[in-house]
Amino acid sequence: MRHTLMATWLPLTLLGMTLYAGFNVTMKLAGERMNSLLGAFIVALVGTVTMGLTLLYLRASGEPLDLSQTTTAGVVYSVIGGLCVIGFDVVLYMLFAKQAPLSVVVPIIQIGTIALMTLAGVVWFGESMSTQRILGLALAVASVFLLTR
């Protein structure tokens, strides 16, 4: 059952990984060549326009947009998530404007995110923590020290 479940989300996970890698590389390239706030604004604008066009396309093609499960809490969490994404964009631009190395900065951010999301999963969502996961997390955190030496 677990392998069947993973098969349903693994392809999207790999796509997300690839898109995130492309995002990081392009932010490094742009961050060295423009103002951080303008760069973050352009990223947000492109994302907003892309999603708007996608919604318009779906509506024009007759695809129903089910809003019945939308709650106030869902909207609030989405707004907070959007603020986090924009804040992250600005920070990334600022790091790359300071010539921070892509090969160090992004892995440290990702490993820190792994640690924080593992903690969030256990504390807020009641997810289990196995010995194997603890070992994996410890190795990930140890890699930060190796990357920064």
**What confidence tens digit (pLDDT) does each residue in 129-147 have?**
999 989 988 998 898 888 8
**What confidence tens digit (pLDDT) does each residue in 59-108 have?**
899 888 888 889 999 999 999 999 999 999 999 999 999 999 998 899 88
Q: Please determine, for residue 5, whether its predicted confidence score (pLDDT) is greater than 80.
A: no
Which tokens hold the place of 32? Answer: 């060295």
| Secondary structure (DSSP) of 26-59 | HHHHHHTTS-HHHHHHHHHHHHHHHHHHHHHHHH
**What confidence tens digit (pLDDT) does each residue in 26-71 have?**
999 999 899 999 999 999 999 999 999 999 999 899 888 888 889 9
Per-residue pLDDT, 6? 67
